[in-house]
Amino acid sequence: MSKPLIGLTNKEVVRSRNEHGENVLPHKKEGSIIGLILSQFESPLIYLLIGVSIISFLFGEQQDGYLILAVLVINISIGFYQEFRAQKTLDALKQLLEPITTVIREGKRKRIPTREVVVGDFIVLGAGDVVPADGKIIESVNLLIKEAVLTGEGEAVSKDPEFDDQAYMGTTILSGNGIMEAEVVGVNTKFGQIGKELIAIEQRETPLQVSLEKFSKVLSVLVIITALIIFLVGIYYDNEPLSMLRYAIVLAVAVIPEGLPVVVTVILALGMRRILKQKGLVKNLISVETLGATTVICTDKTGTLTTGNMQVVLEDLKDKEKTYQAFIVNNEQRTNIEIALWDYVHKNGFDAKKFFEDYEKIYLEPFSSASKYALTVCSCAKSKIGYLTGAPEILLDFCKLSKEEKDKIEGEINKLAAQGYRLLAAAYQENVDEANPKLKSSYIWAGLIGITDPLREDAAANLRKAEEAGIDVKIITGDYRVTAEKIAQNLGLHLNQSQIIEGSEIDSMSANELSKVIGVKKLFARVTPEHKLKIVEALQNNGEVVAMTGDGVNDVLALKKADIGIAMGNAVEVAKEASDLILLNNNFSTIISTVEEGRLVYKNIRKVIAYILSNSFAEMILIFGALLLRLPAPLAVAQILWIHLICDGPPDIALGFDEDKTGLLKQKPHDTRKEFILDRKTRTLIVFISLCIAFLSLMIFRHFYLVVGNYQLAQSIVFAFLSIISLTYILSYKDLEIPIVRMKKFFKNKILLWSLVYGYILTFIAVYLPGLNEALEVTPLEPIHWLIILIGAVVISIGVELIKMIRFK
């Protein structure tokens, strides 16, 4: 009797981990605290503001310099806090999906996270397990491991400690059980090299990243050019250079939306949380918006469009007993199909237990998506019997049949496939050549069975939703072509032959040829995981934003290459690692819901940017107009920063909390890689609002400065006017398309309403609080001044609504 295994002690585990490292695959490092802080400086706008602060210090404007730095610190702190929170949420959610391994330590079996496996651990292996490390087999019972992830071979390999056999990370236990001793973990494993390949795959920038980068560059150039123009115009008007430099600084501070990075982070985090409620787990913030830009969804059929509850509903059997034996012997009860076959055979009175008592497996070729068949050779008494199961058209080539028999079976296959059944065949051969069990010829056709996987009730409706949303859905399946066509028809898709393509056709095409035809293709039949990467690349070559679903090890390259990789909730760990979105319920409807959430995120980001720019451009035009009229600066740097604290703080963040999705799935995907983030109509609205606000502000300032003769009072009224008016017309920005009178759930965003209260309070504090109003160079206002401000706010708000009503009509 062999000596029982004891395994490592806790001290030995610690020592081994310190010496050999953790059992984690190569991956891009998550943002550290230092990295998150540094990421807040990625926007060109932040560097521009830092430059303005430095210039202020160099020319003796100490107070302005410190105020600008204070605003920078506040915005960076808020941005860091929001991203840190979001990262912690993602880390917590990922732990829910962490794989578990059974090891023997201190004489006991323990279930631990796979990442905690160390060199020297005894690992318990069973059917369906993914090997968590590289190591040697020390015990085995009929242990068969599929190593296709490393070798590309579909055949399983028998492992026996007598031959010093090895097991490798990422390979799959197909049958039997055993124990291995871990010798290599983590990045040093063979599978770790594949992980490095995944990191090496260059990922395109997301549409939002492209658009925001473009926006930041354009705005930065605009600020520099405008500041330079103001400086030169001032010199032309014989103003002092130092005075004009201060003017340029004031204008730069007015235009730069320093709070924008924070707002974008908050909106993305909110979208991520809403998607989680829809049973979707987004692994990184920026992917949230990319979902809304998706133009093509490549989806598998099983479990996403169907329920995944498979049932055997028909049979055409030539040898019932041999068919049942074949479906039992090639069955590990791991997949939905295998479970359906097992239940079917059991309900028909077949005694699987007795069968396995009499038969012993001596050779196995497990099913793979490439070969599309499984072979098991069993020993019974002195006979060796081979059992084949798999795709009917594949097994036909292995069987000894007359032409008439083959034509008849093919006719039956086509007839049943045309009805939408998933077909599996069985064949057998007695007296298999023990010296060459791989030989697959002269098998006897045993029978054919049909399996149904009912469509989800909402599958057809969700496909229509995707079509209405301008998204091209491509169904990718390994099914027989005729079966796939029938299922597509049941989904409401009436396709012609030019819209259907098989994997064998893809193999015969070059990348350019596939790119030319892939746009019209809707249904992909007999597709293997290897074809998925070609499909993604072809679509991306055509400028599409591609979402691809997958669940297997061989899907990881396609998932990584896609703009949005979507893994099923029951996918293997490496597929989840390569994906951007995990469907916790495996439902296609969740993909549509996440697309809608992504569009809501984009809508909220767009209207917040529009609101911020309306304020900033109004201040810029006001300052430039005052210069042209040879008036002093209508706003001080401190006053501008306080206005930004009021309007570019909680209010614009709160604007991102809107959840009104009305009409989002009726629109076409936004192409922010090619288009500016703000469309022409929105830019027109911004220009109109900015000009109106600047004109009224300039008239008020000119009157109180020239007529009343009080410069501080003129500045104070303009300061209060800009603060109040920005807090008033923000309600019109809840939707850039629909007038207020047509908005639904207008008062649902309570956070926005409370942020307006916050803004009004800060405005009154700035005007009336002693000490603070002196620092801001503001004087207390009289009731008549507030009446002027109120009238101006109402006029601007009505003007905005009139513009929107014209656009709406």
Catalytic positions = 300
Inter-axis angle of helices 711-729 and 637-647, nearest 10: 20
Cα-to-chain-centroid distance, residue 529: 20
The three-state secondary structure class of 475 is strand
- The amino acid that residue 455 corresponds to is L
Residues 6+ apart with CB under 8 A from 530: 370, 554
Rounded Cα–Cα distance for residues 578 and 550 (Å): 10
Residues 6+ apart with CB under 8 A from 789: 717, 720, 721, 724, 725
CB atoms within 10 A of CB 135: 25
Q: Under a CB-based contact definition with an 8 Å cutoff, are residues 612 and 651 in contact?
A: no
In terms of Cα–Cα distance, which of 188, 235, 246 is closest to 19?
A: 188
Q: Where would I find the H helices in 553-710?
A: 556-561, 573-578, 588-628, 637-647, 650-655, 680-702
Supply the DSSP string of 390-428, one letter for each residue: E-HHHHHTTB---HHHHHHHHHHHHHHHTTT-EEEEEEE
* Sign of the torsion formed by the C-alpha atoms of 700, 702, 704 and 707: negative
- The amino acid that residue 478 corresponds to is G
Residues 6+ apart with CB under 8 A from 497: none
- End-to-end alpha carbon distance in the chain: 87
In terms of Cα–Cα distance, which of 596, 570, 572, 574 is closest to 583?
A: 570
Supply the DSSP string of 136-168, one letter for each residue: EEEEEEEEEEE-HHHH---SEEE--GGGT-EE-
Residues 6+ apart with CB under 8 A from 96: none
Structure tokens at 536: 């993604």
Q: Under a CB-based contact definition with an 8 Å cutoff, are residues 183 and 14 in contact?
A: no
Inter-axis angle of helices 241-255 and 207-236, nearest 10: 160
